[in-house]
A and B are shown apart, each in its own frame.
Chain A
Amino acid sequence: MLDRREFLKISGATAFAALFGGCERMPQKLIPFVIPPEHYVLGESLWYASACRQCPAGCGIVVRNSAGRAKKIEGNPLHPVNRGKLCARGHAGLQALYHPERLGRPLRLDGPRGSGKFKEIPWEEALNLLLSGLKKVRAEAPSSLLMLTDPMRGHRNLVAARFMKGFGSPNRVAWDPFGQDAQLAANEAVYGVRDLPEADLAGTRYLLSFSGDFLETGISPVHYGYAYGRMRQARPTVRGKFVHLGPRLSMTAANADVFLPIALGTEGFAALGIAHVLVKEKLTRAAGNASALWEAGLKEYTPEEVGKRTGAVPEDLVEVAREFASNQPGLALAGDGAASCTNGVFHLSCVALLNVLAGNVGKTGGISFPDRLAPFSGRGAEAGLLLPPPGSGYEDVRDAIGKMGKGAFRLAIFSGDTNPAFTLAPSLSFREAFLSVPMIVSFAPFLDETSSLSDLVLPTPTYLEEWWDDIAPVGHGGAVTFGQPVVPPYRDTRPMPDVLIAAARELGGPVASALPWGSSRECIEKTYAGMGIRLEEAHRDGGVFPGKEAASRPAPKAGKPSLPQVSEASFEGDPARFPLLLHVYPSISLYDGRGANLSWLQELPDPIATAVWRNWVEVNPATAAKFGLSDGDGVTVSSPYGSITAFLVLHPAIAEGVAAMPLGQGHTRYGRNAVNRGDNPYRLLPSASEGASRAPARQSTRVSLARTKLSGALVRTVSTEGQWLYENIL
């Protein structure tokens, strides 16, 4: 109990604290605007339609602007890709806009190269440095200019491509660690169309997913999430069934009616097992006519044989095949887990074969290939620059690294929307090779592992502060999205296309005539005004969205299915020394690592592991028991290429013999929210390529686990293990 004397002491202290701090007055200075923002009305919200660039999906957004500040991002209800919905990464765009670590002035190297030490300089000086570098390179050897960017779309890409062509350098490399090379190659092989398909989830009755995490990190998670909701609930008498096959219970898999765990790198064989039953029992018309497939080798992939390879129960495969055939239109999808094996094209081709056997190509509830560039049909070859094939560019990156080592480049222009020093396997030695280029100029809003290697960093605005346009890779053929500044530029930044246009004007000659505009805004507006688009309406709506999709192109090979070339997934490392297969997947919140500097995304619990702010490795409890490990232990994960540490998370639904890690954590330079959050799993990966498409093969190494002591603990919002113990699952 508190006696009176003590209480008086405390109350006296309270009064004292109140006197000198607790009773602060309201701000005494009232600071009005010098020039208020355009359309500024205090107390009235303005909504600006624009587009999201937190991942390559290309969703439409509307941003609430109040008192001159962007306050909230929502999905654009008019936009056909996301229909008013938005994911957590999209919402977190505001944090990128107002991030305290955003670059606001150009930076010049002020220490050893790669040290990350810079000093601020004025824009005039920075542009002079860039120009003198460009002039020198053009005079000596124009082809020694390298441009390394993310895969840009729309007129941002057109400006960059024209700049390089006008300058006289063919060395333009676009790097996306989750590029769709395997999907493109498989579609070309099976359907005869080298493009991403429109998968009509909303209209399908039976969905088969092979490691396709389409609800979290696929090509367009919000688009598919919306369509998935419609598949389940929008039809009064039909609730589509969803079966997921894969090595790990992802969030998407957890949504499935049936989850069939299969071994890592066996998705294609599971699809062949289902195809075997379809053809054997002549369950669909196309399967009944596929005797050539049967003779070509499909007859060998009996459910029993496939069960041995994949770990699936043969009866389950038979049942899935029969259900798939009797619930048409059905749809089969594959995702990054299958595509990034060393035989990814084989897996994806087998999955595509199921669509062909179901006879759903070009039909409602199936697969179609609309011409997304239909609005630009009058632009000729340049139309392709507005929506380049969504590949990873891995071969080009490797080629460029080789050339860097040989001194082929004198100046590198880098765009900071991609981060190769973080996302490439360390055995490629990107950092060392990049630093061998005599001059590196980065366009970046933040300093990360790659942009901090530069000699000169030019700060760029976020996507919420510039004029741009976009064509989404899936979602609607024929839609064009417009991005516009939703607030005045928050820092002293300039968009990369604007700087390239200004530099071209100064350089003169062919590069100046290739970029004849005053700014990127003028470039976009002239183009679309020339196409008869009313710009004011387009900016109001966030784009041009024809009600009807562009017509689907024919899939010439779909009528004559052939058995994909069978190949086995290979994993590097001695099984005795590295007994587990490593499965890495993009994080739902951090994606490839680009979201790691945003605290909203760091504190977003993973839907399965419920962990925040740190890295973890997920294994089956039976696997952990073999190593004598238990939930929450610190472990060293070692592959033939490197070792990292992480906390152990047990999950009973992950396949045995697999260790799964999310990508995205482990930054060494990306601001205070991103660094010291565990190690980078990319460091475990080999530099292997997928056999047919040359994409990075991330699922291609073995690892071992060993207990180690780590400081702190993995913070999780729920003790899932406790729940499983309660439910007698463990």
Chain B
Amino acid sequence: MAWKRRLAVLTLAFLPPALVFAVAVRAETAPQPIRFSHKVHYTDNRIDCRFCHSAANKSQYANLPSVQKCMACHRSVAAGNPEVMKIAKYWKEKKPIPWNRVTELPDFVYFPHFRMVTYGKIPCLTCHPGTDRVAAAEQRQEFAMGWCLQCHRSRGVSIDCWTCHI
């Protein structure tokens, strides 16, 4: 019976942090400082994702556009929009826009965007579904390991542990 006791002890020891972690992952996104709509930019005006997320094909991170880049268009486009005027205020004060994180991946996973975008030719919406239809971005796909592996297997990509956990 010793192994059962050990199992119970281990479960008790590790369950609370696991629960806490699960809660953390499912936390809701805080409201953004500017009501930015992916739908307006991507679906209505057909601006490519990589116009703003310009490092998605080169870097681990997809990159957020600088305030300068926002203003490159919005100096003239929809300049009277109240949300655009908020951007103009940041630009005038030369302050960065403090965006809230939407998509979150645990830090024990190494996920380089450029591998998926450049070499995998994976469309952005595969992992960020629905972003083209909603006003405010939210994480609609939970990045569970089974979901990742399903795609890796179907495309014949390595499922070695250290492919993602390095």
Contacts and interface: CB of A to CB of B under 8 A. Distances in A.
A29 B32 CA distance: 10
B98 interface: yes
A32 B100 CA distance: 11
Interface stretch (B41-49, B61-69, B128-136, B153-161): B61-69
B85 interface: no
A44 B114 CA distance: 11
B88 interface: no
A14 B67 contact: no
Contacts of B63: 32, 42
A27 interface: yes
Interface string B2-33: 00010001001111110011001001001000
Q: How large is the interface on B (under 10, 10 to 19, 20 to 34, 35 or more residues)?
A: 35 or more
A97 to B, nearest CB: 22
Interface in A13-35: 14-16, 18-19, 22-23, 25-35
Interface stretch (B73-81, B89-97, B119-127, B143-151): B89-97
A16 to B, nearest CB: 8
Contact of B12 (A11, A31, A32): A11
B32 to A, nearest CB: 10
B11 to A, nearest CB: 10
Contact of B66 (A16, A22, A32): A32
B104 interface: yes
A43 B27 contact: no
Contacts of A12: 16
Contacts of A26: 101, 104, 107
B36 interface: no
Contacts, number: 99
B17 A23 contact: yes
Contact of A28 (B30, B64, B95, B107): B30
Contact of A33 (B5, B59, B68): B68
B13 A36 contact: no
A726 interface: no
A42 B68 contact: no
B66 A42 contact: no
Contacts of B98: 29-31
Given A4-B5, A19-B17, A25-B27, A42 B67 contact: no
Given A19-B20, A34-B91, A42-B58, A29 B101 contact: yes
B110 interface: no
B96 A31 contact: yes
Contacts of A30: 64, 98-101
A238 interface: no
B61 A43 contact: yes
B60 interface: yes
A43 B59 CA distance: 4
B59 A32 contact: no
Contacts of B17: 14-15, 18-19, 22-23
A44 B54 CA distance: 12
Contacts of B104: 25-26
Contacts of A14: 13, 17
B107 A32 contact: no
Contacts of A22: 17
Contacts of B12: 8, 11
B34 to A, nearest CB: 12
A298 to B, nearest CB: 70
A8 B58 contact: no
Contacts of B16: 12, 15-16, 18-19
Interface in A125-149: none
B55 interface: yes
Interface string A1-12: 000100110011
A552 to B, nearest CB: 50
Contacts of A608: none
A41 interface: yes
A34 B67 CA distance: 5
Nearest to A33: B66
Contacts of A42: 54-55, 58-59, 61, 63
A19 B5 CA distance: 25
Contacts of A31: 96-99
A15 B95 CA distance: 39
B66 A36 contact: yes
Interface string A140-160: 000000000000000000000
Interface string A250-291: 000000000000000000000000000000000000000000
A8 B63 CA distance: 44
A171 B57 CA distance: 59
Nearest to A4: B9
B78 to A, nearest CB: 20
A318 B88 CA distance: 83
Contact of A11 (B13, B55, B59, B96): B13
A299 B9 CA distance: 91
Contact of A32 (B9, B21, B60, B96): B96
Which residue, of B30, B91, B99, has the highest number of chain A Cβ atoms within 10 A? B99
Contacts of A29: 98-101
Contacts of B9: 4, 7-8, 11
Given A18-B17, A32-B67, A44 B58 contact: yes
A32 B99 contact: yes
A417 to B, nearest CB: 32
Interface in A28-81: 28-36, 41-44
A11 B12 CA distance: 8
B101 A35 contact: no
Given A28-B30, A32-B64, A34-B94, A18 B58 contact: no
Nearest to A30: B99
B148 to A, nearest CB: 18
Contacts of B65: 32
A28 B101 contact: yes
Contacts of A15: 13, 15-17, 20
B162 to A, nearest CB: 21
A684 to B, nearest CB: 53
A23 B55 contact: no
B64 to A, nearest CB: 4
A15 to B, nearest CB: 3
B24 A25 contact: yes
A655 B15 CA distance: 67
B100 to A, nearest CB: 6
Contact of B90 (A18, A28, A34): A34
Given A14-B17, A28-B30, A36-B66, A44 B99 contact: no
Nearest to B97: A32
B92 to A, nearest CB: 11
B65 to A, nearest CB: 6
A33 B71 CA distance: 12
A30 B64 CA distance: 8
11 contacts: A7-B9, A15-B15, A22-B17, A23-B17, A23-B20, A27-B101, A34-B91, A35-B66, A41-B55, A43-B60, A43-B61
Given A8-B12, A34-B90, A43-B59, 6 more contacts: A26-B107, A30-B101, A32-B67, A34-B67, A36-B66, A44-B58
10 closest residue pairs by CB, A with B: A43-B59, A11-B13, A15-B16, A42-B55, A18-B17, A32-B64, A33-B66, A43-B58, A42-B59, A30-B99
Interface of A: 4, 7-8, 11-12, 14-16, 18-19, 22-23, 25-36, 41-44
